[in-house]
């Protein structure tokens, strides 16, 4: 007998992965072809630190080990609260309608290899930041990328 999956925690990270030249990595969702986004993912436990979640999700979704590639992960100290799309609401407890997303930036060297998890993503693209923002289906993801030229400064 299959046990029911635990409900997702309505706190997540959004990690905008980019090069020093502000080329942004976007990944295409396997469950929604044509939906492009940055790395996202929910906390595994209520007490999981946000940075731990960000590092875990980047590794799980792209194969990028932040430390191994010499990446710099920064908490942008921004968060978005948004209504969970109805198509994904079944993953959460019945009374949950909104998610709080914490935004991070990850600077990686140009040419950093990407190894997608095929269960989650179909393809990837490195795009100039404005083009990447225009391709995102998520308004909060697009806005984070549009802020990249200011936010990514050391």
1 belongs to a structural domain: no
**What is the number of structural domains in the chain?**
1
Q: Confirm whether 128 is domain-assigned.
A: yes
Is residue 56 predicted with pLDDT exceeding 90?
A: yes
- In terms of residue numbers, what domain contains 102? 11-151
Residues 141, 31: Cα–Cα separation, whole Å: 18
Residue 6 domain-assigned (yes or no)? no
Q: Is residue 121 part of a domain?
A: yes
Residue 100 β-bridge partners: 11, 81
51-60 long-range Cβ contacts below 8 angstroms, 24+ apart: 51/75, 51/104, 53/12, 53/13, 54/13, 54/15, 54/104, 54/106, 57/13, 57/15, 58/15, 58/17, 58/106, 60/117, 60/120
Residue 154 clears pLDDT 80, i.e. is over it: no
Asked if residue 2 is part of any domain, the answer here is: no
Q: The CATH number of the domain where 103 resides is what?
A: 3.90.79.10
- Indicate the range of 2-6, 23-27, 131-135 predicted with least confidence: 2-6
For residue 72, is it within any domain? Answer: yes
In a domain, 17, yes or no: yes
User: By percentage, how much of the chain surpasses pLDDT 70?
Assistant: 95
pTM above 0.85, yes or no: yes
pLDDT at 116: 97
pLDDT, residue 88, reads 83
pLDDT given for residue 3 in this prediction: 58
What is residue 88's three-state secondary structure? helix
Could you report the per-residue pLDDT of 100-126, keeping only the tens digit for each? 999 999 999 999 999 999 999 999 999
Residue 1 has pLDDT above 60, yes or no: no
- Phi first, then psi: what are they for 54, rounded to 5°? -60, -50
| Within-domain flag for 32 | yes
Residue 37 has pLDDT above 60, yes or no: yes
């Amino acid at each position: 007998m299959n046990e029911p999956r635990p409900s997702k925690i309505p706190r997540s990270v959004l990690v905008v992965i980019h090069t020093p030249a502000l080329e942004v990595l976007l990944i295409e969702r396997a469950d929604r072809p044509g939906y492009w986004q940055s790395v996202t993912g929910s906390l595994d436990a209520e007490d999981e630190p946000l940075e731990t979640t960000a590092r875990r999700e980047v590794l799980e979704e792209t194969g990028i080990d932040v430390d191994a590639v010499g990446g710099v992960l920064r908490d942008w100290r921004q968060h978005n609260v948004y209504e969970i799309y109805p198509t994904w609401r079944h993953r959460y407890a019945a009374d949950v309608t909104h998610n709080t997303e914490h935004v991070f930036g990850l600077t990686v060297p140009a040419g950093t290899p990407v190894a997608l998890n095929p269960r989650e993503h179909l393809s990837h693209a490195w795009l100039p930041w404005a083009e990447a923002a225009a391709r995102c289906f998520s308004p909060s993801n697009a806005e984070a990328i549009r802020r990249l030229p200011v936010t990514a400064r050391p």
